[in-house]
């Protein structure tokens, strides 16, 4: 049915038992839909893609008096229908355009609400807090280190700046200041952290370009310090005589025996140890390669865990006497340094000589290198040492096909290594039979 749609015609329309559509005979596609309830709704109907195309129907407005909007009148609705008609003649799809506009409006409202609840970071300090909360908090040791470096060097220098205003020159000044105080390696670590921070901002759509590009790192010389066979007994006896907490001494001994990283050994807890089987399951989130690592613990390592015991509340082994929680990484670094270098307090120059003042200093990580180097020196194969260290092959075979964890090889290597350590501490005479394992 077609009629010239006017205000008078629509006013006289009576509802029926079923919905009916009356088209305007002047403008193709313009119509009014009369509902059984008496409502009269203006629509525009067309086929997108020609005669065989999909039938589309767009609601324009509702005839009412007085009108709430322009499209509630016949003339206003006809003008809007004429716009849709013109769009179809240009090959466009006005229905799809309206749907896209509606979706964009809904998304804008959603984003505005989300922005009110969780405002986007505006400054570098805001970005750093978001980074620590969403990324670094998932990394046990890395997250703590990142927080410390941000608080010490990054945020005091550029934390107040808007993230979009930070330039490459600002980053260079920050890194130069760290290097100029005699810490070029720390400058490199800060460079890596700032690059991660701004890449995090890029990934979350907060930045369009990172200022941390084409900035050269300071030259580093790889450390090769390790304890020789002659130095190991000296180190262990000096460690025993040191004034640091017993659990720190136990941790450093444990790291040398098992060739573990500081971050791995620090958080070892009762849930990870199967005492009956003598194994330690290191969870993937604490392993450098992100994979679970099963390590057979030799009796010498188990004796250390039995000696210090599990903290009854925290469930960790290597806990601070003061807090009952695992030590911070820097506490272990400082304790190890104090074995070799006297700590100056209140500008006093009469600090007592540390127990290992005559030995070249080492860091906690050097214990891992010492274990690996001496294992190779006593004939343990390179492949077995790699298994103990948890190093993974980067070739296709290692990454995708070789899933053998070398458990027996690891056990054999660690038993050989700890037997060698016991001999270093208590050399056996040719005519003496060993009755008891030396205590390490």
| pLDDT digits 0-9 by tens, 408-431 | 999 999 999 999 999 998 876 554
Residues 103, 131, single domain; the answer is: no
Say which range, 12-21, 281-290, 354-363, 378-387, has the weakest mean pLDDT. 281-290
Domain extent, residue 75, equals 2-114
438 — pLDDT class (breaks 50, 70, 90): very low
**pLDDT value at 396 more than 60:** no
pLDDT tens sequence across 91-149: 899 999 999 999 988 888 887 776 677 677 889 999 999 898 887 666 555 667 788 88
Q: What does the pLDDT average to over 42-59?
A: 88
For the segment 22-35, the average pLDDT, to the nearest whole number, is: 92
- Of the three residues 185, 203, 221, the one that is the final residue of a domain is 203
Same domain, 255 and 310: yes
The yes-or-no verdict on residue 397 having pLDDT over 60 is: no
Q: Is residue 166 part of a domain?
A: yes
Mean pLDDT confidence for 277-281: 94
Predicted pLDDT at 108: 84
Task: Report yes or no on 365 lying in a domain.
Answer: yes
Whether residue 187 is preceded by a cis peptide bond, meaning omega within 30 degrees of 0, is no
Residue 402 has pLDDT above 80, yes or no: no
Tens digit of each residue's pLDDT (9 = 90 or more) over 237-250? 999 999 899 999 99
- CA proximity to 157, closest of 141, 143, 176, 131: 176
Per the domain annotation, does 210 fall within a domain?
Answer: no
> Among 89, 114, 139, where does a domain finish?
114
Query: What CATH number has the domain bearing residue 345?
Result: 1.10.443.10
Give the confidence band of 185 by pLDDT, cuts at 50, 70, 90: confident
Phi, psi torsion values for 273, nearest 5 degrees: -105, 130
Q: Are residues 166 and 296 both part of a single domain?
A: no
Q: Is residue 325 part of a domain?
A: yes
| pLDDT > 80? residue 439 | no
Tell me the two tokens of residue 40.
């009269």
Residue 338 sits in the same domain as residue 266: yes
CATH number of the structural domain spanning residue 35? 3.30.160.390
Q: What percent of the chain has pLDDT over 90?
A: 58
- Looking at the fold, whether 247 and 332 belong to one and the same domain comes out as yes
Is residue 290 domain-shared with residue 241, that is, in the same domain?
yes
**Would the pLDDT of 436 be above 70?**
no
Please give the tally of structural domains in the chain: 3
Is the pLDDT at 225 greater than 60? The verdict is yes
Looking at the structure, tell me whether residues 179 and 97 fall in a common domain. no
Q: Give a yes or no: residue 241 inside a domain.
A: yes
Instruction: State whether 96 and 129 are in the same domain.
Output: no
398 pLDDT more than 70: no
Q: In this structure, are 163 and 106 located in the same domain?
A: no
Q: Tens digits of per-residue pLDDT, 144-182?
A: 778 888 999 999 999 999 999 999 999 999 999 998 888
As a whole number of angstroms, the distance between CA 107 and CA 105 comes to 5
Q: Does 95 share its domain with 63?
A: yes
DSSP 3-state assignment of 33? Answer: strand
Does 266 share its domain with 414? yes
User: According to the model, what pLDDT value does residue 437 have?
Assistant: 46
Q: What is the pTM of this model?
A: 0.59
Domain boundary among 114, 143, 167: 114
CB hemisphere CA count around 236 (13 angstroms) = 21
pLDDT per residue over 324-357, tens digit each? 999 988 899 999 999 998 876 655 566 688 999 9
Q: Are residues 187 and 315 in the same domain?
A: no
Q: What is the pLDDT of residue 344?
A: 66
- Residue at 211 is within a domain: no
Per the prediction, the chain carries an average pLDDT of: 87
Percent of residues, the chain, with pLDDT higher than 70: 89
Question: 274 or 399: which carries more pLDDT confidence?
Answer: 274
């Amino acid at each position: 049915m077609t009629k010239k749609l006017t205000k008078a015609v629509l006013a006289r329309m009576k509802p029926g038992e079923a919905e009916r559509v009356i088209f305007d005979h002047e403008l193709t596609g313009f119509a009014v839909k009369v509902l059984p309830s008496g409502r009269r709704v203006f629509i525009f109907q067309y086929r997108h893609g020609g005669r065989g195309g999909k039938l589309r129907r767009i609601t324009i407005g509702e005839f009412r008096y007085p009108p709430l909007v322009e499209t509630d009148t016949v003339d206003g609705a006809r003008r809007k229908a004429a716009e849709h008609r013109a769009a179809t003649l240009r090959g466009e799809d006005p229905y799809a355009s309206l749907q896209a506009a509606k979706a964009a409006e809904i998304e804008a409202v959603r984003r505005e609400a989300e922005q009110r609840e969780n405002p986007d970071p505006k400054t570098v300090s805001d970005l750093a807090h978001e980074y620590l909360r969403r990324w670094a908090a998932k990394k046990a040791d890395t997250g703590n280190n990142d927080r410390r470096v941000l608080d010490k060097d990054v945020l005091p220098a550029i934390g107040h700046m808007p993230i979009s205003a930070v330039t490459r020159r600002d980053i260079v000044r920050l890194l130069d200041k760290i290097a100029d105080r005699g810490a070029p390696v720390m400058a490199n670590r800060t460079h890596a952290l700032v690059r991660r921070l701004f890449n995090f901002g890029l990934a979350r759509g907060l930045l369009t370009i990172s200022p941390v590009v084409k900035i050269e790192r300071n030259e580093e010389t790889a450390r090769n310090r390790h304890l020789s066979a002659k130095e190991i007994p000296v180190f262990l006896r000096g460690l025993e005589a040191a004034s640091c907490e017993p659990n720190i001494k136990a941790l450093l001994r444990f790291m040398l025996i098992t060739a573990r990283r500081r971050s791995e050994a620090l958080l070892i807890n009762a849930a990870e140890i199967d005492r009956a089987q003598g194994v330690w399951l290191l969870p993937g989130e604490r392993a450098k390669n992100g994979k679970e690592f099963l390590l057979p613990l030799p009796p010498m390592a188990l004796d250390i865990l039995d000696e210090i015991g599990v903290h009854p509340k925290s469930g960790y082994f290597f806990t601070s006497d003061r807090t009952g929680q695992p030590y911070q990484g820097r506490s272990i670094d400082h304790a190890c340094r104090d074995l070799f270098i006297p700590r100056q307090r209140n500008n006093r120059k009469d600090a007592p000589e540390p127990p290992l003042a005559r030995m070249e200093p080492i860091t906690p990580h050097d214990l891992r290198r010492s274990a690996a180097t001496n294992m190779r020196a006593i004939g343990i194969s390179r492949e077995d040492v790699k298994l103990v260290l948890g190093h993974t092959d980067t070739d296709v075979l290692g990454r995708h096909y070789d899933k053998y964890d070398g458990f027996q090889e690891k056990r054999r290597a660690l038993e050989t290594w700890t037997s060698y350590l016991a001999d270093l501490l208590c050399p056996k005479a040719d005519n003496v039979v060993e009755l008891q394992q030396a205590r390490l």
